[in-house]
A and B are shown apart, each in its own frame.
Chain A
Amino acid sequence: GESVGLHLPTLSVQEGDNSIINCAYSNSASDYFIWYKQESGKGPQFIIDIRSNMDKRQGQRVTVLLNKTVKHLSLQIAATQPGDSAVYFCAEHTGGFKTIFGAGTRLFVKA
């Protein structure tokens, strides 16, 4: 069936290093992808999105890459900071209400 899955359940990085969080999706009809950040005790917050007609989109310290050939999405965080510690979800949108969230990757930032 349809799924959005993350390759790694946890990721630990040194403060100042770059982080890469990966996501696989299975529905080639998906046309919109979103990354969310969820801090402890809070709901997920929008970080960045990308439409299927793009390969790359940059925000402030974050970049999302989309590889439609292998159905792969990644979130890159530059100069990771302690405040980046959270669970990161990718979400896949196929129109209407069909949004599928992945299981999440927990990012630990070591000082």
Chain B
Amino acid sequence: EADIYQTPRYLVIGTGKKITLECSQTMGHDKMYWYQQDPGMELHLIHYSYGVNSTEKGDLSSESTVSRIRTEHFPLTLESARPSHTSQYLCASSVTGAYTFGSGTRLTVV
């Protein structure tokens, strides 16, 4: 049973809409991450956090933002969704090394 939860699992929205993808973990992990992944392809790091009030951009240029107000919560926000944002978004957390991943949010922007 995963201890990291992502909602929604699937989302179809129109271009220009603002959306927030939710991620919560109950393991008390300090480090959290957001990855973007096209089906069967590699993972691209878009944001990460060391802990509360700490966020950094990852390797992949992204038009999204994140916040880390509580240890367990790491939401990802797209201010204005575009079709190019269509992808799967995976949240993960860790203490050191190995990650625990959520089941992902599959986003489609039409």
User: Chain A residues in contact with chain B, CB under 8 A?
Assistant: 32, 34, 36, 41-46, 49, 87, 89, 93, 97, 99, 101-104, 106
**Once the chains bind, are A42 and B100 in contact (CB under 8 Å)?**
no
Contacts of A43 in B (CB 8 A): 2, 90, 92, 101-104
**Once the chains bind, are A93 and B31 in contact (CB under 8 Å)?**
no
A-B contact count (CB 8 A): 48
With A and B bound together, what is the CA distance between A52 and B50 in angstroms?
Answer: 24
With A and B bound together, what is the CA distance between A46 and B100 in angstroms?
Answer: 7
**Once the chains bind, are A41 and B103 in contact (CB under 8 Å)?**
yes
User: Chain B residues in contact with chain A, CB under 8 A?
Assistant: 2, 31, 33, 40-43, 45, 48, 50, 56, 90, 92, 97-104
**Once the chains bind, are A46 and B98 in contact (CB under 8 Å)?**
yes
Which one of A49, A99, A104 lies within 8 Å of B42 (CB-CB)? A104
Chain A: which residue is nearest B50 at the CB level?
A: A97
Task: Given A49-B97, A93-B97, A97-B48, check contact A42 B103 (CB 8 Å).
Answer: yes
With A and B bound together, what is the CA distance between A97 and B2 in angstroms?
Answer: 22
**Once the chains bind, are B40 and A106 in contact (CB under 8 Å)?**
yes
Contacts of A34 in B (CB 8 A): 97-99
Most buried by A among B50, B90, B101: B101
Contacts of B43 in A (CB 8 A): 44, 89, 101
With A and B bound together, what is the CA distance between A40 and B101 in angstroms?
Answer: 14
Q: What are 19 A-B contacts with C-beta separation under 8 Å?
A: A36-B99, A41-B104, A43-B2, A43-B103, A43-B104, A44-B99, A44-B101, A45-B101, A49-B97, A87-B40, A89-B42, A93-B97, A97-B31, A97-B45, A99-B45, A99-B99, A101-B43, A104-B40, A106-B40
